[in-house]
Structure 1
Amino acid sequence: MIGENRKDWDRLIWECRECKDMFKAETESYNQHTSKTEGAHIIQQIIHCEQDDETNTFEGYVRYGNNGEDFIAFDVKTETWITLVPEAETVKQEWDGNEVRNKFWKNIVTGLCSTWLNKSLTYGKSYLNRKDLPSASLLQENSSSPVTCHATGFYPDRADMFWRRDGEQIHEGVKHGDILPNQDESFQMIVDLDVSSVPSEDWMRYDCVFQLSGVPNVIIMKLDKDVIKSNRRKALTGNESNEKKVHF
């Protein structure tokens, strides 16, 4: 969602560059009004905003730190600076008088920061609440191999997959694989069923079930030889079967 609006990104880039220029100017002013000991010093700036969804209230601030300790903060409501240590008083006096810069920080906190906070929250909620069902298939390397129930493309990774016989979950002859990530941020998983001792006439008693957490619908695949994808070749003709070739 955020990446679709080029104007939003252009504005954010411009505002970030302005923030960098303001930070540079205030750092130079800060250095002029504070006594410094020898050695390296670290000046930190935090631009913070938060919103309460229940009360719909918004708060934000700009704060500077010196070597990890709070130094001075900007009060958005009064558009003035608050000293957090006595040494910040001379800095406050100069910065309070720069109305243009103070208006800029107020707009950053109440405008840009608030806007992007809401955009991020909206995007985050839609992403976290995402539910994608997988494509599922039955695979078998050859006629003596276990039948693999394979589901891929699901999200999130809170899912379960198992084999049943006559509608009841079974554990004997079943081997579960790990849930693995795909390159598109979705997931995949497999569950094998040893069919070496299952008579052909009993295959239709078995099925594989996939369940994604939070989704009422389930995917059920009957153990049917006609739908299994495999690498098997027709023994008599030497030609590949019409089933899709799958490499393990």
Structure 2
Amino acid sequence: MRSVVLLLLGVHLAYAGTHSLKYVYTAVSGDIDFPEFTAVGLVDDVQIDYFDSNTMKDEPKTEWMRQSEGADYWDSQTQTLIGTHQSFKNNIQVAKERFNQSKGVHTFQFMYGCELDDDSTRVHWQYGYDGEDFISFDKDTLIWTAAKPQAFITKTKWDEDKANNKYQKSYLETECIEWLKKYVGYGKDTLERKDAPKVFLLQKDPSSPVLCQATGFYPSNIMMTWQKNEEDHYEDVAVGTTLPNIDGTFQKTITLKHEDWKNDKEAYRCVVQHVGAAKDIIVTVHDIRSNTGSDYTIAIVVGCLVGVAVLAAIVGLVFWKKSNGYGRTSTKDSDSENSAQPLPQLTTK
């Protein structure tokens, strides 16, 4: 399972919107200990449901979703995703043929959703293959953009389907926002809370990079920087991806790789800004903790996450490495009144 996460690690999706809804479908082929198909839904980056091809059942992942939607809703979601599973088995085989691949582990993904803030909305959708963009849709022009030559066949076919593209544009601008507002209403008390992060400096051994970790914060938007002499410092700094904890909060790391700080410990510090904190949280290199054999050990990235469902949520958060948005497709045949997840298009030959 860890291989899937490492394959898809990429830039963090930073959402400016006040609230966001997104779903991620992931198909996997090859010799790997991961379900053939998974679907994860997230509101404000909080996992709300989970489906995989092993259980063949869509299940709520928050108590407020469990209490707010009845059996008909979950049955409808399940049936839609069973159909989507079959579609994605076809999608990944078509993609493998396009890339002339027959062996190895491969992934085919689809991410969709919408954002809503005080004065604007944003909606996007796109597909990815093996950790990179494959094809995406521009709702304003009703044109598909092929990120790879292997996607040109699909682009041509979908560009010609004007009626369906117009339908999808309408769906994204209306129904997606309606679902988002409904879900936010369900989880208002949880989604609008503000939990300040706990911040630690960790070092595996004296010669290792210094890792600044913020954990336990909510919502997911956070600003983390290394500073030298109170000025932002970017040289040899690696910014990690924001990832979910099992309790619904988030974690993120920013790593200082070089060792110059050892010669000037007064100059270097990690600065964290979050809406849950009344002021900047500042930790200096004097406060480094060893994360080897210590009671202060902080579980990092995969280590703090338990189960396939949460792992799939990580995949949803990090998406593929070139992605800067997410999206949704739907078909007129879908029962969109009862299901928030219409059957997506196929990547046909």
TM-based fold match above 0.5? no
- Rg larger in structure: 1
Q: TM-score, normalised by structure 2?
A: 0.31
Q: TM-score, normalised by structure 1?
A: 0.43
Give the number of the structure with larger relative contact order, counting CA–CA contacts within 8 Å between residues 6 or more apart.
2
